[in-house]
A = this chain, B = another copy of it.
Amino acid sequence: MTTVTVEVVKSLLSANDAVALRNRARLDQAGLLGVNLMSAPGSGKTTLLARTMNSLGAAAPCGVLVGDLQTSRDAERLADHAAVVHQINTGKGCHLTATQVENALGQIAIQGLAFLFIENVGNMVCPATYALGERRRVALLSVTEGDDKVLKYPTLFQAVDAVLLTKIDLLQVLDFDVQRVEDDLRQLNAHVPLLQLSTRSGEGFARWLTWLHDMRAEIQFS
């Protein structure tokens, strides 16, 4: 009997991933770090970005792509803080796609920017499985959402480079076990940093800014 070896050639990249790689190359070439921010609605992405860009200041100009089903409220809120803001309305779409980001990049000037923040649609599930072209992925979890969320939404928390525990100024009026979040996170993503902060009080903010600068320094731009 003759053994027949069959080689199955399978595309390893989905259509979305192929576009995401193009976006990443474009950002690399322009010398800026793409950061994809993902979380449930209302965990504080927009407020975080406004304060972050104020703190980074003129030395590190930022662009922002904002994803929402409807309205341009978030883009309007960020207009005074960013060098460039572009709102993407997804209609009924529950996450941003690499193609939406590619189209946005065709409409804004990114040369000279230090960071491109991509504020995804508020959703802890779907955005986690769509690469957009970012070099770093960040999940936000606000303490008002409850301390049980990490293991309930593992696809998000295992796929990110940093977790921000937000709104910690409210810890005093809530029953929230930070250690439980830390323990759950270690099961999914052993070394991911968990940065506790409050955009309102500014507590923990310096560490987040340091993390951003460190990540930018890590990337070798062409």
Contacts and interface: CB of A to CB of B under 8 A. Distances in A.
Contacts of A69: 125, 152-155
Contacts of A71: 148, 151-152
Nearest to A47: B146
A42 to B, nearest CB: 3
A126 B94 CA distance: 7
A152 B40 contact: no
Interface stretch (A13-21, A100-108, A116-124, A204-212): A116-124
A80 interface: no
Contacts of A178: none
Contacts of A124: 41, 122-123
Contact of A151 (B73, B126, B167): B73
B125 A68 contact: no
Q: SS class of chain A's interface: helix, strand, loop or mixed?
A: loop
A52 interface: no
Interface residues of A, number: 33
A90 B167 CA distance: 29
A72 to B, nearest CB: 10
B70 A129 contact: no
Interface of A: 40-42, 68-71, 73-74, 92-94, 121-126, 129, 142, 144-146, 148-149, 151-155, 167, 170, 173
22 contacts: A40-B41, A40-B122, A40-B145, A41-B124, A41-B146, A42-B145, A69-B152, A71-B148, A71-B151, A73-B148, A73-B151, A74-B152, A92-B125, A94-B94, A94-B123, A94-B125, A122-B149, A123-B123, A142-B144, A144-B145, A144-B167, A173-B173
